[in-house]
Amino acid sequence: QRLRPGGIYCQWVQLYELSPENIKTIYRTFASQFEHVLVFAAEDLSSDTVLLGSDSPLPLDVAALRNAFTLPNVTEELERAYIHSPYDVFARLILGSKDEVMQFTQIEHRLRGGEWIAYPDSSNPPDRSCPADSCRREPVVLNTDDNVHIEFAAPHDLIGYQRFEGYLANIYSPEWPYGRLTDHIEGFGEGEEAARQYAELALALIAHGKKPEAAAFIARSQEAGGVRETRIAAEVITRLMSNENEPTIFLETPVPGPQLAAREARTLAEGFLRVREAVDQGSFGVALAAMEEIPAPLRLHSGPSLKLLHAYLLYKTAPTYQSRYREAIELLEDLVRTEEEYVLRHAEIFYFLGRCHDAELAFDKGMRNMRLFVEARMAAEERGDLPGEAPTTDDPEASAGDPPDGAQKAQRTELPGEPATQNEGTNEEAPEESSNED
């Protein structure tokens, strides 16, 4: 009642320490007062949400939001909320209309053994049937000044609120039936401009963990004629979702520094030989164990290639031991910080960073690192010096022993007694070998 025409009311609402039923009550009470409503996540997988309400339409218009980003201080302020582009705003949409809010904020009751059972955490997908003889959906109670429902109910939720913590996964699940941008967004333009905008939105959706929606906008970008960004988005999502055609890791013999005694140098050489033999057999778990038998001071101070190999082995065995993704990230990020020239020659570092971050649900870092890898690969392709791809196995258990029947072994690029494939003391690179070795 107090808004000017076209005014927008903004309300923060938490998803933590509240029952699903009370969250729905707050949402529905808000939506009951406005003709147009949108709900956004504060950030990826956030338990904070932002509700917008107005009596005027709230269009999700790409062109309008891009113009808003040109206003003074807007970009700097939104960076504080990890919003790097207009597309990041759209990617955080949870509920895209008042109708969606009203559909969501019901409680489903189902007939079970002659008794009606309530499911307060139901999402109530509009495309899922609710036959009247065995199912009914009822709107939650509104919160008013007269009933002060939330004032009394919310403190009860604080007692044993842990039982609600899994509810957040429903809202961020790929099966969440609301907030589909394909149904709500507009203002992409035409031709190449539309293709570019679709692709950039797809990349933002990948960065927010919404890969199925991203795939839909990549398809639209292709239908609009496709541009360079279309190919980038398509390759980024493919490489994040599949480990086929992983980039080659070259096994480069570590060169002992002059400060190492002969005994330490021998320990390093023997340890590396055991690592390489296990890698050649596809036994990544055995290779990692051999790597970690090399004393840490030798591992950490024997050149960047050994650190990259260690991170690679952690990555390959991480499907069985989730914490290894974080260990691999720490090694790879240390390389990025301290070995600039090496990293420039080894874009595969960004591939493995992308895969590890994505597995850790750090979707933004996953997309950004994988995009760096894809763009470096495209630049190499344009120069005519595209590296080969490494054979992989789709069986995560292969890391603990022999590869499964038919699985290819990890690529071997040097044998005992041969010179290193790359001299870390220079910028010279040795010719790459075929990636088709069985």
Scan for tokens 């009247």, then name that residue.
132
pLDDT, position 122: 92
Query: 93 and 218 in contact (C-beta within 8 Å)?
Result: no
Token pair in block for residue 144:
């008013």
Weakest mean pLDDT among 148-162, 317-331, 378-392? 378-392
**CA-CA distance, 281 to 291, in Å (whole number)?**
15
pLDDT, position 166: 81
Tell me which of 177 and 301 has the higher pLDDT. 177
Please state, rounded to an integer, the average pLDDT across all residues of the chain.
86
Weakest mean pLDDT among 82-86, 164-168, 203-207? 164-168
Taking only the tens place, the pLDDT of each residue in 27-66 is 999 999 999 999 999 988 899 999 999 999 999 999 999 9
Domain 246-400 CATH (choose: 3.30.70, 1.10.730, 3.40.50, 1.25.40): 1.25.40
Taking only the tens place, the pLDDT of each residue in 331-363 is 999 999 999 999 999 999 999 999 999 999 999
Query: 107 and 137 in contact (C-beta within 8 Å)?
Result: yes
**CA-CA distance, 354 to 232, in Å (whole number)?**
14
Q: What integer is the mean pLDDT of 62-76?
A: 93
Segments making up each domain of the chain, as ranges: 1-106+142-187, 188-241, 246-400
**CA-CA distance, 387 to 431, in Å (whole number)?**
10
Tell me which of 56 and 251 has the higher pLDDT. 56
pLDDT, position 390: 52
3-state helix, strand, coil in the chain (%, to 5): 50, 10, 40
Asked whether residue 426 carries a pLDDT value surpassing 70, the answer given is: no
Weakest mean pLDDT among 43-47, 68-72, 103-107, 313-317? 43-47
**pLDDT band (50, 70, 90) for residue 299:** confident
Q: What integer is the mean pLDDT of 310-319?
A: 96
Residue percentage of the chain with pLDDT more than 90: 68
- Counting Cα atoms < 13 Å in the Cβ hemisphere of 115 gives 4
**CA-CA distance, 364 to 208, in Å (whole number)?**
6
Asked whether residue 142 carries a pLDDT value surpassing 90, the answer given is: yes
The CATH architecture to which 188-241 belongs is Up-down Bundle (1.20)
Strand 106-112 relative to strand 60-61, pairing: unpaired
**pLDDT band (50, 70, 90) for residue 389:** low
- How many residues make up the chain in this entry? 438
Beta strands in 122-190 (DSSP E): 135-139, 185-186
Q: What integer is the mean pLDDT of 85-107?
A: 96
Contacts of 365 (CB under 8 A, 6+ apart): 353, 354, 357
Asked whether residue 104 carries a pLDDT value surpassing 60, the answer given is: yes
Tell me which of 158 and 232 has the higher pLDDT. 232
Global pTM reads 0.80
User: Three-class SS of residue 193?
Assistant: helix
pLDDT, position 57: 96
pLDDT, position 274: 93
Asked whether residue 391 carries a pLDDT value surpassing 80, the answer given is: no
